[in-house]
Structure 1
Amino acid sequence: MKLIKKGAEADIYETKWDKSHAILKIRKIKNYRNPHLDLKIRKQRTIKESQIMAQVKSFGIPAPLVYFVNLKKSSIMMQKIPGKPVHDLPDSKIIQCSIQIGKLVGTLHKNGIMHGDLTTSNFILSNGIIYVIDFGLSQNTIKSEDHAVDLRLIKEILNSAHARIFEKSWNNFLIGYKSIVGNAKFVKITNLVTNIEMRGRYATVV
């Protein structure tokens, strides 16, 4: 078992499950919390994440299979998706993939799922298919404000991590997103994104 990522909420290991390459995600104990409360929170989040991973697959989102959930250890054993994170692809490929990423996010939102951590590292290109990973912060919500927060985050990531291709990739993302959610929802969500940005700028100035 090999540690591949240490996160604030969980550690990620590469391992094997029944001879297949797998990922083991273990939620960390938070010593500042009451131990009973901490266990309850980690259990609930582990259950929620595994449920959402199964849920998104039911409406066509390519996502890892869940192999096993251990509530005592607050861990999830899941399929390892072979491929490259979109973050690490050449600029031209990121621009191209942005349309499909927009469609995937649109499909999540249309089905009442907020991803919660939309970064280009959480999309994996594998054999021509883009997979969505890391549903640790996801939640069931139909609130437009929550969906706007998702879009605001991916926009920030594109602007910071992929600044040279920001305009092309963001425009392609929006084309893909709109094709799924429709014009009315698209206008509502993008207007909310603008409002969030304006609030942020105002807070900075003040």
Structure 2
Amino acid sequence: MEMIYKGAEAELWRTTYLGTSVVEKLRIPKTYRIKEIDERIRRTRMKKETLMLIDARKAVNTPFILDVNDKRMSITMEYIDGVKVRDAFYKGKDVVKTSEKIGKAVRKLHDLNFIHGD
């Protein structure tokens, strides 16, 4: 397993699942919370995210979900190889074209009444 990202809420690990290259998103415990409350919050957020990814797939390309693990608080999804948007922008590659694609995808999500924080 190789950690590819660490955020405030989760870690992303590149690994394999049934012989396929995948990303496992592992929700991080918050030690400042009461354990039972923390587990309930993480489990609820994980389930909501899973359902949102499934719904978003109706309008935009999303990674295919392969497994949801309540005990590990993780979502395992297909790994999609490619250039990160941030890296493409830093290199100045197709900034306008990429921005237009992102805008169209966000519009499609808004048309499905998706609310996002990004």
Counterpart for residue 117 of structure 2: 116
How much has 1:62 moved relative to structure 2? 0.4
How much has 1:99 moved relative to structure 2? 1.0
Counterpart for residue 85 of structure 2: 86
The ranges of structure 1 where at least 4 consecutive aligned residues each deviate by more than 6 angstroms after the TM superposition are none
Q: Report the TM-score, using the length of structure 1 for normalisation.
A: 0.54
**Where do residues 4-83 of structure 1 align in structure 2 (5 Å cutoff)?**
4-58=4-58, 60-83=59-82
How much has 1:52 moved relative to structure 2? 0.5
* Cα 1:102–1:29 shift into 2, 3 Å: same
Provide the rounded CA distance (Å) in 2 between the counterparts of 1:6 and 1:96: 29
How much has 1:115 moved relative to structure 2? 2.7
How much has 1:87 moved relative to structure 2? 1.3
How much has 1:92 moved relative to structure 2? 4.3
Counterpart for residue 104 of structure 2: 103
Contact 1:15/1:24 (<8 A) preserved:
yes
How much has 1:30 moved relative to structure 2? 0.5
Gaps of 5+ in 1: 118-206
Q: Report the TM-score, using the length of structure 2 for normalisation.
A: 0.93
Contact 1:4/1:14 (<8 A) preserved:
yes
Provide the rounded CA distance (Å) in 1 between the counterparts of 2:68 and 2:95: 33
How much has 1:116 moved relative to structure 2? 1.8
**Where do residues 91-170 of structure 1 align in structure 2 (5 Å cutoff)?**
91-117=92-118
Contact 1:15/1:21 (<8 A) preserved:
yes
The structure richer in strand per residue is 2
Provide the rounded CA distance (Å) in 2 between the counterparts of 1:82 and 1:115: 24
Provide the rounded CA distance (Å) in 1 between the counterparts of 2:116 and 2:56: 10
Gaps of 5+ in 2: none
The DSSP-based 3-state class of the residue aligned with 2:94 is: helix
Provide the rounded CA distance (Å) in 2 between the counterparts of 1:92 and 1:39: 42
Larger radius of gyration: 1
Query: Superposition RMSD on alpha carbons, in Å?
Result: 1.1
**AA of the residue aligned to 1:78:** M
Identity of aligned residues (%): 34
Contact 1:66/1:79 (<8 A) preserved:
yes
| Per-residue CA distance 1:22-70 (angstroms, 9 max, x = gap) | 0011101111111111000000000001110000002x21010110000
Provide the rounded CA distance (Å) in 2 between the counterparts of 1:92 and 1:74: 36
